[in-house]
């Protein structure tokens, strides 16, 4: 049985973890090459350790179409496998913020080490533990990371459509909001025409494309038509496991390649670098296993000479706050997919939108990794709740 909290000794024991299932809805459908997202169930975690409260968010989407995790699967893995392993773990509640951050990452990693895969579910628990530890000491994640920036530049994402007029209209709306960079989702048959129209209208725009792994076989030849457009990068043209194909394509195209879905753990960055499969990677902390894994991936990318920038996952204001802090790390090569006022569920999001102005989002400077949820908003959208505590020692 876990002991009670021991803040006087500088450590607190994970005493309880609650899971909540939030039924959120996107303000508009999110169209990518892999499909359309309209509903957005979100699993959130509330963790108590040494009297401190922390919140975490699981980035898994409704269906396993983008990555192999999905929200209901993550709920079960958290409830039945991850949370029972974390209960009773001692977290460092006192000391230097960076030491507490890295001590917590190590403690959570050790507790969950024998569960394979499931990076998004693990990332949710790590986020909640880090939030509790930093909140207990009144420190912000950005402080623990050594990120001094008050704001970071944000990029907009334009949905996939073969209609050039639609791409131009969506880009115009994004630029009117102040976004510094536009990423257009593409797929075979919906690529050079919409991207070309955007480029003709804005010759100097920082423009990139994301294919979400939809090109294969004969359709790959069409990607050569993107080279004259001066894209900042072409993201994930081929399937996630086709690193050899990406290496061959990178040698043929002038457009820099960026990999996203191919990066499912920090060590994947080493392989991308060794094969020359891309010149940059899109960092998504939840997709590699959390904040600790993201920092590891950044170190590996730098060692391999790869550029890094921060992606996004249709998250609430909590996950976005973590991404914004990571986007403030030195050397990010492009503005991050950090959302803003057009992002998804402003009305419903219990954590609220990340503050956005003039194409930049604010880095969270309050205690913890992000804002606490609004209790009323949380009640309105939470349809399921399960509380997990250490098993009683009595038979
Ligand atoms: Mg992507």
Nearby residues of 256 by Cβ (< 8 Å), 6 or more positions away: 231, 232, 233, 234, 278, 279, 280, 307
pLDDT tens for residues 260-273?
A: 999 999 999 999 99
- The pLDDT of residue 210: 96
Check whether 31 has a pLDDT greater than 80.
Answer: no
**Beta strands at 155-158 and 151-153: parallel, antiparallel or unpaired:** unpaired
The residue whose two tokens read 């623990």 is 144
Q: Nearest-CA neighbor of 14 among 74, 108, 89? A: 89
- The pLDDT of residue 346: 57
Assessment of whether the complete model's pTM goes beyond 0.85: yes
Helix axes 97-112, 291-304, angle to 10 degrees: 100
Q: How far is CA 322 from CA 200, 276, 278, 291, 303, in A?
A: 35, 29, 25, 8, 23
- The pLDDT of residue 11: 75
Structure tokens at 220: 């790959």
Measure 92 CA to ligand 1 centroid, in angstroms.
Answer: 35
- Residues serving a catalytic function are 185, 284
Cα-based torsion angle of the residue sequence 331, 335, 336, 340 in order, rounded to the nearest 10 degrees:
140
Question: Mean pLDDT across the stretch 156-184?
Answer: 93
Angle at 82 between CA 79 and CA 84, to 5 degrees: 75
pLDDT tens for residues 289-302?
A: 999 999 999 999 99
- The pLDDT of residue 348: 86
Measure 209 CA to ligand 1 centroid, in angstroms.
Answer: 9
Residue 348 is given by DSSP the state T
CA dihedral sign, ordered 40, 104, 268, 339: positive
Measure 110 CA to ligand 1 centroid, in angstroms.
Answer: 30
- The pLDDT of residue 4: 42
Report residue 8's pLDDT band, with 50, 70 and 90 as the boundaries.
very low
Phi, psi of 245 (to 5 degrees): -65, -40
- The pLDDT of residue 341: 44
Report residue 340's pLDDT band, with 50, 70 and 90 as the boundaries.
low
Q: Which residue has the higher pLDDT, 5 or 367?
A: 367
pLDDT tens for residues 198-219?
A: 999 999 999 999 999 999 999 9
Measure 311 CA to ligand 1 centroid, in angstroms.
Answer: 7
Q: For residues 43 and 21, is the Cβ–Cβ distance under 8 A? A: yes
pLDDT tens for residues 50-108?
A: 999 999 999 999 999 888 999 999 999 999 999 999 999 999 988 899 999 999 999 99
The mean pLDDT value of the chain amounts to 92
CA dihedral sign, ordered 67, 208, 156, 292: positive
Distance separating alpha carbons of residues 324 and 339, to the nearest angstrom: 10
Measure 283 CA to ligand 1 centroid, in angstroms.
Answer: 9
Measure 287 CA to ligand 1 centroid, in angstroms.
Answer: 11
- The pLDDT of residue 390: 79
Question: Mean pLDDT across the stretch 215-236?
Answer: 96
Query: With pLDDT > 90 as the criterion, what percentage of the chain qualifies?
Result: 81
pLDDT tens for residues 182-200?
A: 999 999 999 999 999 999 9
Q: For residues 272 and 281, is the Cβ–Cβ distance under 8 A? A: yes
């Amino acid at each position: 049985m876990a002991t009670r909290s021991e803040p006087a000794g500088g450590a607190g024991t994970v005493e309880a973890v609650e899971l909540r299932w939030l039924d959120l809805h996107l303000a508009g459908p999110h169209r990518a090459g892999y499909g359309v997202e309209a509903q957005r169930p979100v699993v959130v975690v509330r963790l108590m350790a040494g009297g401190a409260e922390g919140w975490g968010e699981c980035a898994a989407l409704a269906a396993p179409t983008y990555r192999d995790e999905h929200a209901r699967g993550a709920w079960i893995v958290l409830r039945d496998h991850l949370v029972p392993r974390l209960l009773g773990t001692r977290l460092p509640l006192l000391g230097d913020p960076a030491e507490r951050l890295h001590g917590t990452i190590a403690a959570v990693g050790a507790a969950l080490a024998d569960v394979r895969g499931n990076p998004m579910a693990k990332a949710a628990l790590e986020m909640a533990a880090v939030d509790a530890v930093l909140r207990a000491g009144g420190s912000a994640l950005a402080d623990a990371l050594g990120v001094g920036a008050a704001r970071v530049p944000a990029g907009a994402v334009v949905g996939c459509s073969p209609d050039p007029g639609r791409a131009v209209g969506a880009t115009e709306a994004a630029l009117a909001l102040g976004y510094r960079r536009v990423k257009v989702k593409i797929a075979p048959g919906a690529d050079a025409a919409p991207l070309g129209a955007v480029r003709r209208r804005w010759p100097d725009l920082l423009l990139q494309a994301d294919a979400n792994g939809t090109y294969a076989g004969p359709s790959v030849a069409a990607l050569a038509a993107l080279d004259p457009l001066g894209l900042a990068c072409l993201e994930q043209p081929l399937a996630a496991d086709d690193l050899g194909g990406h290496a061959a394509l990178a040698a043929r195209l002038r457009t820099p390649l960026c990999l996203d879905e191919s990066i499912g753990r920090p060590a994947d960055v080493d392989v991308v670098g060794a094969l020359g499969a891309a010149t940059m990677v899109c960092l998504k902390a939840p997709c590699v296993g959390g904040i600790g894994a993201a920092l590891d991936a950044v170190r590996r990318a730098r060692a391999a000479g790869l550029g890094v920038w921060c992606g996004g996952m249709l998250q609430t204001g909590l996950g976005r706050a973590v991404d914004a802090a990571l986007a403030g790390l030195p050397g990010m090569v492009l503005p991050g997919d950090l959302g803003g006022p057009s992002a998804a569920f402003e009305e419903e999001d219990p954590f609220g939108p990340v503050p956005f102005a003039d194409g930049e989002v604010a880095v969270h400077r309050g205690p913890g990794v992000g804002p606490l949820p609004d209790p009323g908003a949380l009640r309105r959208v939470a349809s399921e709740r399960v509380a997990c505590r250490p098993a009683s020692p009595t038979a």
